[in-house]
Amino acid sequence: MKYSGIGASAGIAIYPVYKLIEVDLTIEQQSITDVKNEVARLENAIKTTSKELQTIREQTAISMDEEHAMIFDAHIQIAQDPEIMRQVQEKIEEEHVNAEYAYDHVCQMFIAMFEGMDNEYFQERALDVKDVRRRVIAHLLDVPLNDPSLINEKVIVVAHDLTPSDTAQLNKTYVKGFITNIGGRTSHSAIMARSLEIPAIVGTKHITDEVNDGDLVILDGLTGTVIIRPTDVEIEEYRAKQEHYEKQVAIWSKFVNKPSVSKDGKHVEIAANIGSPDDLDAVKKYGAEGVGLYRTEFLYMNNDNFPTEMEQYKAYKAVLEALPNKKVIIRTLDIGGDKHLDYLPMDAELNPFLGHRALRLCLERTDIFKTQLRALLRASIHGDLHIMFPMVATLNEVRQAKAVLETCKAELHAEGIACKDDVKVGIMVEIPAVAILADQFAKEVDFFSIGTNDLIQYSFAADRMNQKVSYLYQPYNPSLLRLIKMVIDASHEAGIWTGMCGEMAGDKLAAPILLGLGLDEFSMSATSILQTRYIFSELTYSEMKAMAETCLTLDSHESVQEFVEKTIKGESK
Ligand code: PEP
Ligand code: MG
């Protein structure tokens, strides 16, 4: 049985499931008479929690690093916080209630207060208090918490969610991967999985309902696929995939500090796609030459309300400052389709991917749009910022978006706030109408970036979320290749450049065709960079050009795939 989620950390693992089940920490209010005893119980629970956190801290410093270990210094501080302690004690003494009830009450107040603050730092503190609260209450109730550090067999952990302390306790020797119901690529546990370099899939929605302890599963973090109780044939197929992947990783790792060049020295830019400043570690680790797509919607999705100008400015500045002298393309809000904001009610639509989304929405809600553009302009002084508009369909939309940008510039100037006057502006080419009219669009912007995830769904009229039509995701189809060629050629004739930030850019067969078609920049998930650099190093530019030309004359996705596979194998002998 196949299940899919978000591939949060690359790699393949085939092991039995270890289900981390949430324990019941229901608290009942009780009247007590022995106040002293209740306070003593509380002090004991705090002491045990602190000791336990100290052990986790030490384990984390060994299994990960000092930076992650410091998370638990913050937890110890919360556990021993004198203000929390004072308020809990006061509640026990004045209201004669049990310690767990009083402790929970005080923690919930702090959690609500932190969550109510419009600031990422305090939002994270709320999570820390929740984590500590759970531990102290478990000790007070004498309920053993699921302890991932006790795992001593090779397993794949399956859980509804993993807290940072759960993730930090995962011992890489035994925990070979994890799968969760909730979370996105930028959730805490996903970020930690990438640091631990164990494969992980998040956001599967209901995986905990589908598996039992001990069930064998295949976890493919490369594609976000989970196979539950696989057949022998599937196991064999994935073992081969896994072996192949590991061999490849060893070869690719040699390309970290090498330039991205073809066998005969043609340089090409390989940048990374990111969803938040947290992804910068991977950008550096894999030697990306810049950021070709920063999907800013995650900044909005990980929030309870629209992020403020200052919050956004800080995130954009962090990325620009981390990559001095490197191009950073930040895309304006691309919400709608499969991406929703809980705090932005949208009308139900029959075809949300064809609906009121991305730039269309921003041009209507200029209040939201202007906040983002102002934050971007303010951040522009910190690096080589390029602003990119998503889901453009007409020239008029581009002109309107540029006009709003100019208004924001004028406002900032009038307010005496610094920003660059000549920030480069580009568009995503993800709607066929734009690809066909690319020569006209090229007069309006500084660059194009082809978004093939959407361009393919719109070209083949196949919903990218619908499993049944997934065979129509055809990146090698000559009709798509011809469309891409039109865009690249039109941009070059107008003296601008074209990049690609859809998944196709990091596809091992598509990348050499694209280079052959003249694509100037490739942007992909950081973990695909070394593989792509390796592929380019194996072929000459003229070989890739000749290969691309032949592909344009073929008749189907399959025939291109077969031809490229054969050609690459032949060349790399
Ligand atoms: C795309 O459509 O190719 C793209 C990069 O944007 P997203 O996947 O965020 O829609
Ligand atoms: Mg898109």
Same structural domain, 106 and 201? no
Same structural domain, 434 and 527? yes
The whole-number average pLDDT for the span 333-359 is 88
- Calpha distance 37→419 (Å, rounded): 62
Q: What does the DSSP assignment read for 475-528?
A: TT-HHHHHHHHHHHHHHHHTT-EEEE-SGGGG-TTHHHHHHHHT--EEEEEGGG
pLDDT of residue 225: 93
- Calpha distance 201→8 (Å, rounded): 5
Number of compact structural domains in the chain: 3
Same structural domain, 401 and 511? yes
Same structural domain, 506 and 448? yes
Domain end residue (candidates: 125, 141, 157): 141
The whole-number average pLDDT for the span 482-506 is 96
- Calpha distance 73→517 (Å, rounded): 53
> Residue 139: which pLDDT band, with cuts at 50, 70 and 90?
very high
Ion ligand 2: residue ranges with CB closer than 5 A? 430, 451, 454
Pocket of ligand 1, candidates 6, 501, 519, 523: which has the most ligand atoms within 8 Å of its Cβ, to mutate?
Answer: 501
Of the candidates 306, 279, 115, 120, the residue with the CA atom closest to the CA atom of residue 186: 279
* pLDDT of 168 strictly over 90: no
Considering only 182-186, 203-207, 345-349, 539-543, which range has the smallest mean pLDDT?
182-186
Q: Count other Cβ atoms within 10 Å, centred on residue 407.
A: 14
* Residue 175: strand, helix, or coil: strand
pLDDT of residue 187: 62
Atom 4 (ligand 1): residue with closest C-alpha? Answer: 451
The whole-number average pLDDT for the span 464-471 is 73
* pLDDT of 107 strictly over 60: yes
Q: Is 185:8 a contact under the CB 8 Å cutoff?
A: yes
Q: What distance, in Å, lies between the first and last C-alpha atoms of the chain?
A: 38
Atom of ligand 1 nearest to the CA of 449: 5
pLDDT in tens, 56-87: 888 778 766 787 788 888 899 999 999 999 99
Q: Give bridge partners of residue 294 from the DSSP assignment.
A: 274, 330
Same structural domain, 212 and 287? no
Same structural domain, 41 and 89? yes
Stated pTM of the model: 0.72
Same structural domain, 352 and 429? yes
* pLDDT of 186 strictly over 60: no
- Calpha distance 547→521 (Å, rounded): 19
Full domain range(s) for residue 127: 35-141
Same structural domain, 428 and 329? yes
Same structural domain, 331 and 195? no
Pocket of ligand 1, candidates 297, 298, 334, 525: which has the most ligand atoms within 8 Å of its Cβ, to mutate?
Answer: 334
| Stated length of the chain | 573
Binding pocket residue ranges, ligand 1, CB within 6 Å: 293, 295, 334, 430, 451-454, 501-502
Helix or strand run (H / E) with residue 180: strand 175-180
Task: Supply the CATH number for residue 59's domain.
Answer: 1.10.274.10
25-29, 272-276, 418-422, 503-507, range with greatest mean pLDDT: 418-422
